[in-house]
Structure 1
Amino acid sequence: MNTPDPAPAPRPLLLPDGRPAVAAWTLDPAVKHLNHGSFGAVPLVAQQEQNRRRRQMEASPVEWFPALPEKIAAARGALARFLRVRPDDLALVPNASAGASVVYGGLPTRPGGEVLVTDHGYGAVTMGAERLARRWGGTLRTARVPLDADADTAYACVVDAIGEATGLVVIDHITSATARWMPVGRIAAEARRRGVPVLVDGAHVPGLAADPLAGVDCDVWVGNLHKFGCAPRGTAALVARTPLRDHLHPLIDSWGAPAPFPDRFDTQGTIDATGYLAAPTALDFVADTWGWEQARAYMRELADYAERIVAAAFSELTGEDCRVDVGTPVDALRLVRLPAPLAATRAEADALRDRVGRELGVAAAFTSFGGVGYLRLSTHVYNTAADFEYFAERCVPVLGAWSRTDSRGGRR
């Protein structure tokens, strides 16, 4: 049986005037930007819209702030259409971690209750879950899910850890450190059957899924619009569709406190909400220029190519298979195993990220799971195959040398 040839590198996306897609962003051309998934990147048109709104705010603050809740409500409507949810089910929060904190602060007290997380959870959200468990006088329980677990195995690992004391399940939709989907719909359905609230951390999902909450009947879902949606940073959605929403309040009490959910989130005093107001511009830019379906297809094809060539480069260097089976991979996020002992801990992964940026001029993500270090590849419409070819040809040999000379990946 002949093995089919691997798919070729996808052709770069172009703007309508023929320029490369990256021309629509203000990214530093001296840096290879291979880590969209961490902080996103805002297209120029959305920056300009946010700046226009800021000028309005600063020109007449006394006029701006009383009228702001109505403006935020209109933005919520546009963002709800993008996420395919009802506007009355969606509140705007600064980021997914802030949304999780809203839930932790709003849940009715459960003395001695247990909060269930997984070992793939985002660190800041897990820290908040631990604080909640301490306030309850209970414990934080961690469900262990193998990196290569398929959906059925991941489901079993989580639901088997739900017990009589479980007062909340916190589960990632897409895991940050390990770049895999979790079967949140099935987990939420089983938790609901047992009467246990579920918080889904969908930080990376908006922009990567056409209908993010389809089949996900959880109590609260939070997702960042400033990652793959390219909205200005500090823009995230909190979607609540069960009676728990009546207990949810903004992190800052303001004059909207007596209002029902989600209206009370629209009044937050003197915060700069221009990111919320400019977010629809970012989403519309991708939709009008390429269409989100084509954008997602390109990100997936480019991630396939990037994973293949970077893993092959590391494998050739080390003599080991550096491909990673994450069970249920994500279209635009992939893992490649690093040569040991690079990035064996989160602190070492962060130090390696900083060193690669400083010495190699590449913005990349490095993560750690189970004492093993990984490169997390991340693609968006402005990336091209040449970006990842550069990394494979120029950066992989340097990382190999660092792994042999510096056990911590820090400065030699």
Structure 2
Amino acid sequence: MSTPDPAPAPRPLVLPDGRPAAAGWSLDPAVKHLNHGSFGAVPLVAQQEQNRRRRQMEASPVEWFPALPEKIAAARGALARFLRVRPDDLALVPNASAGASVVYGGVPTRPGGEVLVTDHGYGAVTMGAERLARRWGGTLRTAHVPLDADADTAYACVVDAIGAATGLVVIDHITSATARWMPVGRIAAEARRRGVPVLVDGAHVPGLAADPLAGVDCDVWVGNLHKFGCAPRGTAALVARTPLRDHLYPLIDSWGAPAPFPDRFDTQGTIDATGYLAAPTALDFVADTWGWDPARTYMRELADYAERIVAAAFSELTGEDCRVDVGTPVDALRLVRLPAPLAATHAEADALRDRVGRELGVAAAFTSFGGVGYLRLSTHVYNTAADFEYFAEHCVPVLGAWSRTDSPGGRRGTHGRRPPLSASP
């Protein structure tokens, strides 16, 4: 039986007036933007809406701030519809890490207890979990999940680590460093059966899943709307649907503190909340221009193509198979193994990211897991096959040459630093 030909590159998306999709953003055309997943990119229409709101704020601050909670509540309603949750279950926070910090400040104290994380966790969230465990006088326990674990194996690795001392489980919905889904619904259900609260870090999920919390009955779920949702940065959702919500408060105490959840999160003094207010404009831009389901299909098909051609380029260069089995891959995020010794640590991965941007004009994500360096490919509607073809043709040979010198983003110059607990955003 002959092997079917691989799927061709998807046709680039365009705006209604026929211009390339990228014309809807203000991204520098001199840079190849291959890392939407770290910080997102805000469409022009959402930037304009945020600027309009800022002008209103600065024109009359005394009028603006007393009326702001009502405006935020209206934005919450629109964002709740996008996430398919009840507005009364959703609070707005600056990012997923801030949402995790809210939980760490509100979860019931468990003297001597354990906080359970995995070795795929996002560094900032894991560091917060470590501090929580210290406050409890307990320990941070890390469950190892093999990179290539399927959903059943990943589930077993986590639930087998839940013990009598476990006071909180922190689990990624999509892992940042390793670009894979975790079976959070099943893990949350088992933890609930054992009476253990669960925090799900869904930082990358909004925009990539049509119904992010379907089948996920956790205590708290946090997700960034400024990643694949393209909202202004500093816009994230915290969804809480169990009694733990009554113990959750904003990181800043303000006059809204006596209000119930989530209303107390709508009053945060003089913060610039214009990103919250412009977030629905970003979501509507994608919905009205292409539709979110077609957008997700395009991102997946482009990621399939990008992963194939970039992995093939590295494999041809090294004579090794640079494809990566992550067990449960994500539509718009993929890993390709880098030639050793590139990006073997978090610090080296960040240094490589910076050098690639500086010398090759490419914004790309590099991560590390288990002492192995990876390129994390990321796609969005403004990307095209040509972006990744450029990387395969022009950047892969340079990275191969750098790997042989062990200098860029390598171990030289990083000795003595304590690397963070996980990889980049």
Where does 1:334-349 land on structure 2 (aligned, <5 Å)? 334-349=334-349
Q: TM-score, normalised by structure 2?
A: 0.96
Cα offset, 1:240, TM superposition:
0.1
Matched residue of 1:140: which SS?
A: strand
Contact 2:344-2:372 within 8 A present in 1 as well: yes
SS in 1 for 2:239: strand
Distance 2:108 2:354 in 1: 41
- Give the distance between the partners of 1:404 and 1:122, measured in 2 at CA: 30
SS in 2 for 1:315: helix
2:255 and 2:267 in contact (8 A); partners too: yes
Deviation at 1:407, TM superposition (A): 4.6
Deviations 1:295-334 (A, max 9, x none): 0000000000000000000000000000000000000000
Deviation (angstroms), 1:408: 5.1
- Displaced runs of 4 or more, over 2 A: 406-410
- Note the alpha carbon deviations across 1:21-77, whole angstroms, 9 max, x for none: 000000000000000000000000000000000000000000000000000000000
Q: Secondary structure at the match of 2:374?
A: strand
Q: Spell out, residue by residue over 1:81-116, the C-alpha distance to the aligned partner (whole angstroms, 9 max, x if none).
A: 000000000000000000000000011111001000
Look up the SS of the partner of 2:218 in the other structure: coil
Q: Distance in 1 between matches of 2:174 and 2:136?
A: 28
SS at match of 1:342: coil
Contact 2:219–2:242 under 8 Å retained in 1: yes
Looking at structure 2, the residues matched to 59 and 407 of structure 1 have their Cα atoms a distance apart, in angstroms, of 52
CA distance in 2, matches of 1:408, 1:158: 36
2:342/2:349 contact within 8 Å kept: yes
| Residues 350, 409 of structure 2: 8 Å contact kept | no
- 3-state DSSP of counterpart to 2:256: coil
Q: Could you give the per-residue CA deviations for residues 327-368 of structure 1, whole angstroms, max 9, x where no partner exists?
A: 000000000000000000000000000000000000000000
User: How far 1:398 moved relative to its partner?
Assistant: 0.1
TM-score, scaled relative to structure 1:
0.99
Q: Does the 8 Å CA contact 1:121/1:171 hold for their aligned counterparts?
A: yes
Shift of 1:202: 0.0
Deviations 1:179-221 (A, max 9, x none): 0000000000000000000000000000000000000000000
3-state secondary structure, aligned to 2:380: coil
C-alpha separation in 2, matches of 1:106 and 1:197: 12
Please tell me whether the aligned partners of residues 42 and 232 of structure 1 are also in contact (alpha carbons under 8 angstroms).
yes
CA distance in 2, matches of 1:79, 1:279: 8
Distance 2:200 2:290 in 1: 29
Contact (CA 8 Å) 1:341, 1:408: kept in 2 or not? Answer: no
Corresponding residue for 2:413?
Answer: none
CA distance in 1 between counterparts of 2:292 and 2:137 reads: 46
* 8 Å contact from structure 1 (residues 341, 407) kept in 2: no
Cα distance, 1:389 vs structure 2: 0.0
CA–CA separation in structure 1 for the residues paired with 2:368 and 2:109: 34
Distance 1:299 1:336 in 2: 17
1:164 counterpart SS class: coil
2:227 maps to what in 1? 227
- Number of aligned residue pairs: give it: 410
CA contact (8 A) 2:31 2:363 kept: yes
* 3-state SS, counterpart of residue 306 of structure 1: helix
User: Residue deviations 1:228-284, cap 9 Å, x none?
Assistant: 000000000000000000000000000000000000000000000000000000000
Q: Is the 8 A contact 2:35 2:364 kept in 1?
A: yes
Distance 2:89 2:205 in 1: 17
Task: Confirm or deny: 8 A CA contact 1:403 1:409 kept in the other structure.
Answer: no
Farther-moved stretch of structure 1 (106-115 vs 49-58): 106-115
Query: What do residues 125-144 of structure 1 show as CA deviations (whole Å, max 9, x unaligned)?
Result: 00000000000000000000
Cα RMSD (Å): 0.5
Structure 1 CA distance for aligned equivalents of residues 4 and 396 of structure 2: 26
- In the TM superposition, 1:269-284 aligns within 5 A as 269-284=269-284
* Structure 2 counterpart of 1:386: 386
Q: Secondary structure at the match of 1:320?
A: coil
**What SS does structure 2 have at the residue aligned with 1:347?**
helix
Q: Distance in 2 between the 1:409 and 1:142 partners?
A: 27
Q: Which residue of 1 aligns with 2:395?
A: 395
Q: Secondary structure of the equivalent of 2:200?
A: strand
Q: Is the 8 A contact 1:323 1:337 kept in 2?
A: yes
SS at match of 2:171: strand
- Once the two structures are TM-superposed, the CA of residue 406 in structure 1 deviates from its matched residue by 2.2
Name the % identity: 96
1:80 aligned partner: 80
Aligned to 1:374, the other structure's residue is in SS state: strand
Equivalent position of 1:253 in the other structure: 253
Task: Mark the runs of 5 or more structure 2 residues left unpaired by the alignment.
Answer: 411-425
- Following the alignment from structure 1 to structure 2, what is the Cα–Cα distance between the partners of residues 46 and 38? 19
Map 1:170-209 to 2 at 5 A. 170-209=170-209
Unaligned 5+ segments in structure 1 are none
Contact 2:41–2:230 (Cα < 8 Å) also in 1: yes
CA distance in 2, matches of 1:374, 1:177: 9
Contact 2:347 2:409 in 1 (8 A): no
Report how far residue 409 of structure 1 moved: 2.9
Q: Give a deviation string over 1:135-169, Cα, whole Å, max 9, x none.
A: 00000000000000000000000000000000000
Instruction: Tell me whether 286-295 or 106-115 shows the greater mean CA deviation.
Output: 106-115
CA–CA distance in 2 between the matches of 1:373 and 1:328?
19
CA–CA separation in structure 2 for the residues paired with 1:61 and 1:106: 32
